[in-house]
Copies of this chain bind each other. A is one copy, B any other.
Amino acid sequence: MSGTAFIVDDDEAIRDALTWLFKSRQVACRAWPSAESFLADWKESMRGCLVLDVRMDDMSGPELFELLAERGSQLPVIFLSGHGDIPLAVAAVKKGAYDFVEKPFNDNELVDRVIQALSYDASLHERQRGQATLASRLAQITPREREVMERILDGKYNKVIADELNIAMRTVEVHRARIFEKMGVKSAVELAQLLSSLK
């Protein structure tokens, strides 16, 4: 399996039990005793899923979840809750939590869901790679080229673009060619499709 299960729970007994459980199923994992300590170690590049206790001292699970979301984390989160709070569970899932499991939980079921989440994160990672290369290509586009590009995507003729920007048609052609080159496409249609996946 590609990712790691990140366990955050203030109960050492639970951390140990989960650690043992995951190891026994060949799922890599690592545990933290508090939301704050995990947040300190968190990095954008972490791949896997978060197994997060709802009720903890200081910062709660949902609070950590929101903080991570603000910082751009897309790590799938599985909440562990010990007190049947439906509004909390519904709110968490509506905000994008991957799953919500009641304690006491069935061991096998939990591991299965974690593995699902790891797989989900892996596919998410694939998508992000595509977006990243697209973004790096977009970053090479100069401001002037961007102006031309927008108009190309409106389906405007080079002549019209030239008029709007008060430049010669030849210049537009050059920009156009550079844009295609930098974006790795060879027609306006491909460019449109490439960018439509982002918007």
Contact = CB atoms under 8 A, between A and B. Distances in A.
A138 interface: no
A100 B188 CA distance: 46
Contacts of A197: 196
Contact of A190 (B89, B155, B193): B155
A94 to B, nearest CB: 6
Contact of A87 (B90, B102, B192, B193): B102
A196 B99 CA distance: 31
Copies per complex?
2
A187 B102 CA distance: 55
A45 B47 CA distance: 44
A104 to B, nearest CB: 12
Nearest to A94: B93
Contacts of A81: 86
Interface string A172-199: 0000000000000111111111001100
A123 to B, nearest CB: 17
Contacts of A189: 152-155, 188-189, 191-192
20 contacts: A84-B86, A86-B86, A86-B100, A86-B102, A87-B102, A90-B93, A90-B100, A93-B94, A153-B193, A155-B185, A155-B186, A155-B188, A155-B189, A187-B188, A188-B188, A188-B189, A189-B189, A189-B191, A192-B193, A196-B196
Given A90-B90, A189-B191, 16 more contacts: A81-B86, A84-B84, A86-B86, A86-B89, A93-B93, A152-B189, A153-B189, A155-B185, A155-B186, A155-B187, A155-B188, A189-B189, A192-B196, A193-B196, A196-B196, A196-B197
